[in-house]
Amino acid sequence: MSSAGLSRTEFKKRIFVYTSLLPILAVYIFLRVLPILQNFLYSFFESTVVNPLQEFIGLTNYIDIFADQLFLISLRNTTVFAVFVTLFSVMIALVLAMLLSGKMRLGVLYETLYFLPVITPMVPVAVVWKWIYDPTYGLLNYGLSFLGIKPIAWLVYPDLAMWAIIIMSVWKVIGYNMIILLVGIRDIPDTFLEAAMIDGANRLQVFRFIIFPLLKPIMLFVTVISTINAYNVFTQVFIMTSGPQGAPGNAVRTLVFDIYENAFRYFKTGYAASEAVVLFLIVLFLTLVQFKLVGRER
């Protein structure tokens, strides 16, 4: 349609649309679209400190990362982290959401308490958790001493360090999952529940046969979002595993941490870009799974 075919008002509207949208789109392209695409490009190149596009090397970076022990460890650690954080945080959140779903006294207070960690920035809470896990003066070991457990160096032993970070991360995200599930439960029409109660269903049966099936799409949403977020874990790992009191590097090395080190400490940007592509594909896969499953539910 040419502008000559438009009325005067329509023409003015069109001018407005273009003058306001073009700068915004330019910013989008510069800050989002281009970097997302460029990352693929860089991943096919050998890079140097001064030139990220030194030489086209095809899939060499990809072949190399899958032979790189540190990358494989990171991938494994991140997967373990994502699976357990998601599993625990969704299960606990579901219990909380069920408990909070009815009208009850102090309900808003509980919601607020559980939601608090969600809105706080990661750095300060990671700092305080590191202090809680302190082997000599930490609050956790003090609490465990009442159960007769000897002091444990939580962030020093590889397996324990991973669990310590998982627990801290579950604590951080429970509230988010809880709120989403809570809305889902409250959206279930009361008549469904009342009908079931009148038919003599007990609390467990109501949950099993009415709430759970209706909640499935939201459970799925929460699970996928949690998994995606968990795959991008970085800040708490950086804070809690580094420095004099921190865990040894590779025990809780995660994907983004590996990308960060390769790109910004060793300046292997092409190599790190190929790792970022792997992360991108994992997230893309999870997103597609969600769309497909939610689509089927409807």
Partner 1 sequence: MRIPRFSFYGAAKHALLAVGGAFMVLPFVWMLSTSLKPPNEVLSWPPEFIPRHFTLENFATVFQTAPFVQFFFNSVAMAATATVSVLFLSALAGYVFGKFRFPGKNFLFILILATAMVPFETYMIPLYLSMVGLKWVNTFQGLVAPYLIMSYGIFFMRQNVLASIPDEILDASRIDGAGEFRIFFAIILPMLRGAAGALAIFAFMQTWAAFIWPLIITSDRGLWTMELGLGMFQYRFTVDLGPINAGSMLSILPVLTVFLLMRRHIVRGITLTGLKG
Contacting partner 1 within 54-93 (CB under 8 A): none
Strand partners, 56: 45
What separation, in Å, do the N-terminal and C-terminal C-alpha atoms of the chain show? 38
**Least Cβ distance, residue 160 to partner 1 (angstroms):** 18
Which amino acid type is present at position 283? V
Least CB distance to partner 1 at residue 294 (A): 13
Decide if 143 contacts 137 (C-beta within 8 A). no
Residue 205: CB minimum distance to partner 1, A: 14
Least distance from C-beta 124 to partner 1, angstroms? 3
Residue 60 and residue 271: Cα distance in Å, rounded?
A: 9
162/225 with CB nearer partner 1: 225
Among 149, 183, 209, 213, binds partner 1 (CB under 8 A): 183
* 269 is an interface residue for partner 1 by CB under 8 A: yes
Query: 209 to 268, contacts with partner 1 by CB under 8 A?
Result: 221, 225, 228-229, 231-232, 234-235, 238-239, 242-246, 256, 259-260, 263-264
Place of tokens 């939580």: 154
- Strand ranges (E), 30-96: 45-46, 55-56
Contact 262, 47 (CB under 8 A): no
- Pick the closer one to partner 1 by CB: 130 or 162: 130
Q: Which residues pair with 202 in a beta bridge?
A: none
199 lies in the binding site for partner 1 (CB under 8 A) = no
* Binders of partner 1 in range 83-142 (CB under 8 A): 96, 99-104, 106, 109-125, 127-132, 137, 139, 142
- Among the listed residues 283, 289, 293, 294, the single contact to partner 1 using CB under 8 A: 283
Q: Is 24 in the site for partner 1 (CB under 8 A)?
A: yes
Minimum Å distance from CB 11 to partner 1?
A: 11
φ, ψ dihedrals at 88, nearest 5° = -65, -45
Per DSSP, what are the bridge partners of residue 215? none
Size of the site for partner 1 (CB under 8 A): 102
How many angstroms separate the CA atoms of 240 and 237, rounded? 5
Contact 47, 53 (CB under 8 A): yes
Write the DSSP string, 147-207. Answer: TTPPP--TTTSHHHHHHHHHHHHHHHHHHHHHHHHHHHHHTS-HHHHHHHHHTT--HHHHI
According to CB under 8 A, which one of 144, 171, 289, 293 is a site residue for partner 1?
A: 171
CB 264 to partner 1: min, Å: 5
The reply to whether 179 sits near partner 1 by the rule CB under 8 A is yes
Tokens encoding 292: 């497909």
Q: Tokens 């999870």 — which residue? A: 286
Q: Answer whether 39's CB lies under 8 Å from 274's CB.
A: no
| Cβ closest to partner 1, residue 120 vs residue 205 | 120
Give whichever of 14 and 208 is closer to partner 1, judged by the CB atom: 14
Interface with partner 1 by CB under 8 A: which range of 61-69, 73-81, 152-160, 188-196? 188-196
Give the footprint of partner 1 on residues 3-22 (CB under 8 A): 9, 12-18, 20-21
> Least separation, in Å, of the C-beta of 217 and partner 1?
13
